[in-house]
Amino acid sequence: MRYPRLLRALTALTLVGLVLANAQWVIAQQEPVDELPVEALRSFSEVYERIQSDYVEAVDDEALVRNAIRGMLENLDPHSAYLDTEAYQQLQEGTQGRFGGLGIEVGMEDGFVEVIAPIDGTPADAAGMQPGDLIIRIDGQSVKGLDLQEAVGLMRGEPGTAITLGVLREGQDQPMEITLERAVIQVESVRARLLEPGFGYLRISQFQSRTGEDLLAAVDELVHDTDALDGLVLDLRNNPGGVLDAAIEVADAFLSSGQIVSTRGRIERARSRYTATPNDVLNGAPLVVLVNAGSASAAEIVAGALQDHRRAVIMGEQTFGKGSVQTILPLRNGNAVKLTTARYYTPDGRSIQAEGIAPDVEIANVTVRDRDNAPAAMRESDLPRHLRNAESDAREAPEAVDGDIPASSLAARDYALAEALNLLKGLRILGR
């Protein structure tokens, strides 16, 4: 009876060895890998043998080893993971801007699924999901004991089907139930419009492979729509990050020289520096960047670079604080390993990991509205028999511009954006 168990243990070691060999094959050209720890693998084989011989039910060999690999990676940090073929394909689809699901960027926190940020225009965004929400149940099933990929798999499904999430939100005593309808998520990475003549608004919801190219096209369109672009608001709120190269391209668009970001890791290819190229797409016009607690990863790279170079005023809330770089290492069997390989640093050498970017101007997440039936303020022109201003009488009243948004209306809809616009106006005046 000893030999079948020994054979299974040897099979497990072979499978582990194949996975490790795959990973070593990927990085062998960079730096030597330490020899396999024989004593530790003996312990693994002993535990494996005990499970196969004494566990209450029979366990599939490959499933057992696959779960061991997942546990090995997920205990490193919240972002490292083992990706089977389906998860690997879904990750690739996400970077292209089209995938199925709810439209939220998530991570693990104390065994629960934490919302990093909802993505604009998705079911999660429409349902009011917020950064920091903890998903504790998915269709009545507790997420405790699930790894991140399993939880994400439960949330994905056929477009049009419903899903109910149990959500814990800070400041509320009881969990909420939020019902959403799954959809095919097509993320429009870059959106732009004029707030007022001369002042543009550019929103990046997620960094995808085409984001840098789309940003340049959007700025060109804004310049075409106005006589001169006197300032721009770059909105990175609830941007969960994405492709590192796209973040570098976006920061480079507003910088003419200097370092954008550096990465530092154990292996040579994880150590790099990225430098800006000449030409600022705004030609030095004022720039305000909006951030909040849902601004993470690549969004923090952009905000940190522009802040360190004094190229933009960062306005809003402290950002999420994800300052690590994940590298996808494909394996020979079609699966992949997502492994944290480096930390990234701002041009001034700041690590954002677990700290985030502190805004230059802090704006609380508040909502404002006009006072109901508030009496109008008394002015000189309201007094009886007031002296008229001959010069103003001679001037023609300014014509209204189509598309203008009254300041009071903008403040009621988006207070932070209204404050960013006011700051841009002040910077333009000072610049003149």
Tokens of 360: 């230059």
Per-residue confidence (pLDDT) for residue 146, from 0 to 100: 87
Give dist(CA 382, CA 387) in Å, integer.
11
Pairing of strands 313-316, 361-362: parallel
* Helix, strand and coil percent figures for the chain, each rounded to 5: 35, 25, 40
Query: Residue 124: which of 83, 88, 156 has the closest Cα?
Result: 156
Among all residues, which ones are annotated catalytic?
Answer: 297, 308, 322
- Class assignment of domain 100-186? mainly beta
Q: How many CA atoms lie within 13 A of 327 on its CB side?
A: 18
Per-residue confidence (pLDDT) for residue 391, from 0 to 100: 72
Q: What DSSP designation does 120 have?
A: T
**Average pLDDT value over all residues in the chain:** 86
User: Are residues 135 and 106 in contact, defined by beta-carbon separation less than 8 angstroms?
Assistant: yes
pTM of the model: 0.78
- Is a pLDDT exceeding 80 seen at residue 271? yes
Q: How long, in residues, is the chain?
A: 432
Name residues whose C-beta falls within 8 Å of residue 285's C-beta, 6 or more positions apart in sequence.
229, 230, 231, 232
User: Are residues 224 and 280 in contact, defined by beta-carbon separation less than 8 angstroms?
Assistant: no
Per-residue confidence (pLDDT) for residue 402, from 0 to 100: 45
Per-residue pLDDT reduced to its tens digit, 99-112: 668 999 888 888 89
Give dist(CA 219, CA 101) in Å, integer.
31
Domain locations in the chain?
Answer: 2-75, 100-186, 190-362
pLDDT (average), residues 282-309: 97
pLDDT band at 221 (very low <50, low <70, confident <90, very high): very high
* H/E stretch holding 115: strand 112-118
Instruction: Give the Cβ contact number of residue 67 at 10 Å.
Output: 14
Cite the beta strand spans of 120-223 per DSSP E. Answer: 134-138, 141-142, 162-168, 176-181, 183-186, 190-196, 199-204
* CA dihedral (6, 7, 9, 13) positive or negative: positive
User: Are residues 346 and 305 in contact, defined by beta-carbon separation less than 8 angstroms?
Assistant: yes
Per-residue confidence (pLDDT) for residue 406, from 0 to 100: 57
Pairing of strands 313-316, 134-138: unpaired
Measured CA angle at 105 (ends 334, 317), to 5 deg:
145
The topology under which CATH files domain 190-362 is 2-enoyl-CoA Hydratase; Chain A, domain 1 (3.90.226)
Cα-Cα end-to-end distance for the chain: 88
Tokens of 90: 């879904």
Query: Residue 188: which of 128, 252, 119, 126 has the closest Cα?
Result: 119
- Is a pLDDT exceeding 60 seen at residue 27? no
Query: Residue 430: which of 313, 256, 308, 278 has the closest Cα?
Result: 313
Per-residue confidence (pLDDT) for residue 222, from 0 to 100: 96
Per-residue pLDDT reduced to its tens digit, 99-146: 668 999 888 888 899 998 898 889 999 999 999 999 999 999 999 988
